[in-house]
Amino acid sequence: MSDSETSTQAGADASASARDIRQILSALPHRYPLLLVDRVKSMEIGERIHAVKAVSFNEQFFQGHFPGRPIMPGVLQIEALAQAAAILAIETLELAGSGKLVYFMAIEEAKFRAPVEPGVLLDLEVGFVQKRARVCKFWGKASIEGKVTCEVQFTAMVADPPAEA
């Protein structure tokens, strides 16, 4: 296979693994204002995901964080990474339609490198460190145009949905 054929195949694989907002809504239980993944650019099942959050001045948290200097809270950057990880886990573990949820268990080694201000596309890159049927460990990195804003490792568990009352 030539270099151009390899490049074309890689582009086709990435677009085949992309997800639009409708597919994200069907994978995640989150809804506005806490849905923090707008698009999946690429995904390698069982390995990694690259998603995007469009950070808009209209986000509710900017009203109070901080007036005069709006900055996306670091915990919401981590939540966005966790939601991308949940999509990766749902696809990898074939949980779509099962009703199972992916819950945070631990956040480790969180580092915030640069502020995230309105009007940017926040790239969310997440990959598996370890995966088991019920517990997965991930690495995550948020960035803007290649500049890292947040790095973290976190653990999540797969659980049954709460029982109906």
- Greatest CA separation found in the chain? 59
Q: How far is CA 93 from the centre of its chain?
A: 16
Q: Catalytic site residue 30?
A: no
Q: In what order do the strands lie in the sheet with 135-144?
A: 39-44, 48-55, 120-131, 135-144, 147-159, 101-112
Dist CA 24 CA 49 (whole Å): 13
Q: Which of 41, 48, 65, 131 is catalytic?
A: 65
118 in Cβ contact with 56 (< 8 Å): yes
Residue 3's SS3 state is: helix
Which sequence positions are flagged as catalytic? 65
